[in-house]
Amino acid sequence: MPSSPHPHSIPVEERLIVALDVPAAPQARELVLRLGDTVRFYKIGLELLMAPGFFDLLDWLKAEHRKVFVDLKFFDIPETVARAVRNLAERGADYCTVHGNQSIMEAAAQAKSGTLKVLAVTALTSLDQGDLNDLGFACSVADLVLSRARRALQAGCDGVVSSGLEVAKLRAEAPRELICVTPGIRPVENRVEADQKRIMTPAAAIAAGADHLVVGRPIRDAADPRAMAASIQAEIASAVQARLSNAR
Q: Which residues are identified as catalytic?
A: 73
| Side-chain-side CA neighbours of residue 159 (13 Å) | 25
Pair 63, 39: CB distance under 8 Å? no
Task: Note the helical H segments in 127-224.
Answer: 129-135, 141-155, 164-173, 202-208, 217-220
- Using a 10 angstrom Cβ sphere, with 0-12 exposed, 13-18 middle and 19 or more buried, the burial of residue 104 is buried
- Using a 10 angstrom Cβ sphere, with 0-12 exposed, 13-18 middle and 19 or more buried, the burial of residue 136 is exposed
Pair 225, 219: CB distance under 8 Å? yes
